[in-house]
Amino acid sequence: MVKQDAAEALRIADHAYVLAMCEIVSQGAASDLLANDDMRSPYLGGRAA
């Protein structure tokens, strides 16, 4: 799934890949990525999930 609302996508996904400039910069359990402050700021708009 490709989704502009990453936080919403992570809430329904089991596993996720974070892409930047066509490269995987992170991957793992969606719940872990959603809780990760390093991912939240640049990729989720800094909002708490």
Tell whether pTM > 0.75: no
What secondary structure does DSSP assign to 1-49, as a single string?
Answer: ---S-HHHHHHH-SEEEEEETTEEEEEEEHHHHHH-HHHHHHHSTT---
**Predicted pLDDT at 27:** 94
Chain-centre distance for alpha carbon 13 = 10
- pLDDT tens-digit map of 1-49: 666 788 888 889 999 998 888 999 899 999 998 888 887 777 776 655 4
Sorted by where each begins, the domain ranges of the chain are 6-43
Q: Residue 13 has which token pair? A: 């996904």
